[in-house]
Amino acid sequence: MKIPVICTTLLIEKSPQALPLGAACIASAVKHYDDLHGLVDVSLKAFCLEDKDFPEDKNKAAQYIAEQLIEKACGKGAEQALTGGQAIFCFSCFVWNIEILQAASKILLERGFITIAGGPEITAHPSFYKGFDYTVSGEGEISVPLLISRLINKSEKSDKVIISQTPDLSVIHSPYLDGMIDPAEYEGALWELARGCPYKCAYCYESKGQKNVRVFPMERIKAELELFARKKVPQVFVLDPTYNVNKKRAVELLRLIASKTPDTFYYFEARAELIERDLAREFTRIPCALQIGLQSCNEETLRLVNRPFDKKKFVRGLSILNEEGVTFGLDLIYGLPGESFASFREGIDFAIGQYPNNLEIFCLSVLPGTDLFDRADGLGLIYEKEPPYHVMKTKDLSADDMKRAEKLSKACATFYNSGRAVPWFNSVCRLLKIKPSKFFDIFYEKHSDFCRQLCDQCGNENHLEIEKIQLEFLKEQCKLKNLERYYPAVEDIVKFYGAISRTTDTGKEESISLNYDAEYVASDYASDIKYFVENLRPKKCRIQIFMNKGQVDFRYKK
Ligand code: SF4
């Protein structure tokens, strides 16, 4: 009888970004390991917090996972018949799931099963978690199959804590190509193109990793793209922390993507300082968006976290993206060493001034296993000692400042990101003579419940509902500043671009009424609202927004 080996994890949500790629990679490696051929029956089982039957209570969740795993390994009611060691469970652990997975593992250990843990949280401090039989730090494609082979063949005793050997990316198996994971099930894929990073940001696991970037071979990449094409995968999140660090390869891959999967939407992480015009043009040939880490614009802060930053080149790179029409978002972090509340606000103002499609603002986590973790005390960072290790205060940011930063983050996520405000937000701030961070402050004060609720909904928001709140808020702000005469133009711009974004999203037609001629609302004139109102006469119209040969367009209605 083959021994069941189940690779498992717990996901926050069922989405392409959350897809259990790490667990699937280990399952594929075990499946193809010669010494285990014919001896094991390997499979993947992912749990999800969103599953209808998944218990909310952590203890019950751990019990549920353990029972489901036993049932999968042994069949219903069969666990009593098994003696220890007849099934092996490999857990893929992250900061958000370690607590529950470790508790589930303890239940399995009590019943005599073998458990192995790996993943980023174990890699960070492999000796810390005692609730597993074995912990494997690092990439597990070589070490986990070897460990399982030793356990099954009883050939050699193994250490309880294993520091893994780095696998050769040209020989490890793709979990997509061998059918271990089906991207169709997750409506998209997480796509690994490389491992490692040339940078060493102190808060990142890569801070202590190898500095070299190892890339997957082109044949594998081509075969995976062909699979994505066959399965009509709608979206792909590229796992390569600095996609454009090697421009030649980045261009080659973009051309390949354009030829094999022209209709799939891609998400890349890129370095703004390295954006050049020819590369930006290649990005425009496929449906895609770039996410770019800014983290802070305070030079001292960035020096303290070992993050090189050239503001001039950064701005130039983003200008090229804007000129070429490439969609990009920016990331900021609050709670970084050396960052005051004032400089954090400057970061928001600077970031919004670059016209990002979205601005994601995160609280810093001091992750065990990172360089920052080692230096945290010296840098004056006070943080949670358990996952998610969020910073609570710093030498320069009080606990109150941290709460204010969180509020700004929620207001930005609500008004700017979910409110799809990029086409008009800077124009409105200029009209109101207010900086973006101040704007978010006031918005949160007025609509804190709405911001909190929306952020909890995680992407299931109703844009029309947000637009209504935006318009109410903007009307009030215009009134407060005696700018009421400009509000009809503000209303038009918000409604026009809101409808455009919804039609682009859903393909459904929208009808809206405007105070000004739609041609002008859609023109560059509208970016200077004062000039617009002072130089154009209102002319009420009703328009219909629709898709025309893949492009969004509008026509006047009678
Ligand atoms: S944060 Fe990104 S750029 Fe910095 S070391 Fe980590 S992966 Fe590399």
Q: Over 461-526, what HEC string results?
A: CCHHHHHHHHHHHHHHHHHHCCCHHHHHHHHHHHHHHHHHHHHHHHCCCEEEEECCCHHHHCCHHH
Nearest CA to ligand 1 atom 3: 199
Residues forming a β-bridge with 308: none
Query: At what angle are helices 341-352 and 436-456 packed, to 10 degrees?
Result: 90
Phi-psi region of 512 (alpha: psi -120 to 50; beta: other; left: phi over 0): beta
Tokens of 50: 């969103």
Q: Is 201 in the pocket of ligand 1 (CB under 6 A)?
A: yes
Decide: 183 and 19 in contact? Cβ < 8 Å: yes
Q: What is the pLDDT of residue 81?
A: 45
Q: What is the pLDDT of residue 294?
A: 97
Q: Is 365 in the pocket of ligand 1 (CB under 6 A)?
A: no
Residue with tokens 């001629």: 517
Q: Is 206 in the pocket of ligand 1 (CB under 6 A)?
A: yes
The β-bridge relationship of strands 382-383 and 391-393 is: antiparallel
Decide: 176 and 183 in contact? Cβ < 8 Å: yes
The β-bridge relationship of strands 114-118 and 88-92 is: parallel
Of the candidates 296, 207, 288, the one whose C-alpha atom is nearest the C-alpha of residue 250 is 288
Which of 195, 201, 306 to mutate to test ligand 1, by most ligand atoms within 8 A of the CB atom?
A: 201
How far apart are the CA of 206 and the centre of ligand 1, in A? 6
User: How distant, in Å, are the alpha carbons of 225, 295, 419 from that of 412?
Assistant: 35, 15, 9
Amino acid identity, position 489: A
What residue spans of 261-337 are helical by DSSP H?
Answer: 277-284, 299-304, 311-324
Which residues lie below 8 Å from residue 511, measured CB to CB, with a gap of 6+? Answer: 542, 543, 544, 545, 557
Q: What phi and psi values does residue 437 have, to the nearest 5 degrees?
A: -65, -35
Q: Which atom of ligand 1 is nearest to the CA of 198?
A: 8
How far apart are the CA of 92 and the centre of ligand 1, in A? 21
Q: Is 197 in the pocket of ligand 1 (CB under 6 A)?
A: yes
Residue with tokens 């490696």: 29
Helix/strand/coil for 301: helix
Q: What is the pLDDT of residue 78?
A: 52
Helix/strand/coil for 558: coil
Nearest CA to ligand 1 atom 7: 241
Q: What is the pLDDT of residue 241?
A: 85
How far apart are the CA of 360 and the centre of ligand 1, in A? 16
How far apart are the CA of 330 and the centre of ligand 1, in A? 14
Tokens of 498: 């809101």
Other CB atoms within 10 A of residue 96 CB? 14
Which residues lie below 8 Å from residue 163, measured CB to CB, with a gap of 6+? Answer: 126, 137, 138
The β-bridge relationship of strands 235-239 and 214-215 is: unpaired
Amino acid identity, position 144: V
Specify the length of the chain in residues.
558
Q: Which atom of ligand 1 is nearest to the CA of 207?
A: 5
Tokens of 346: 């400057």
Nearest CA to ligand 1 atom 6: 204
Of the candidates 526, 534, 537, the one whose C-alpha atom is nearest the C-alpha of residue 424 is 526
> Across the 558 residues of the chain, what is the mean pLDDT of every consecutive 10-residue run?
94 92 98 94 96 95 97 70 71 94 97 95 89 96 96 85 94 97 94 93 85 91 97 96 92 97 96 96 97 96 96 98 97 98 98 98 94 96 93 98 97 96 98 98 95 78 94 98 98 98 95 97 95 96 94 92
Q: Is 196 in the pocket of ligand 1 (CB under 6 A)?
A: no
Of the candidates 142, 191, 197, 196, the one whose C-alpha atom is nearest the C-alpha of residue 167 is 142
Q: Which atom of ligand 1 is nearest to the CA of 271?
A: 3
- H or E element, residue 102: helix 98-110
Tokens of 337: 């060493």
Q: Which atom of ligand 1 is nearest to the CA of 205?
A: 6
Amino acid identity, position 403: K
pTM above 0.75, yes or no: yes
Q: Over the Cα atoms of the chain, what is R_g?
A: 26
Q: Is 390 in the pocket of ligand 1 (CB under 6 A)?
A: no
Which residues lie below 8 Å from residue 160, measured CB to CB, with a gap of 6+? Answer: 133, 134, 135
Q: What is the pLDDT of residue 225?
A: 98
Tokens of 290: 């770039």
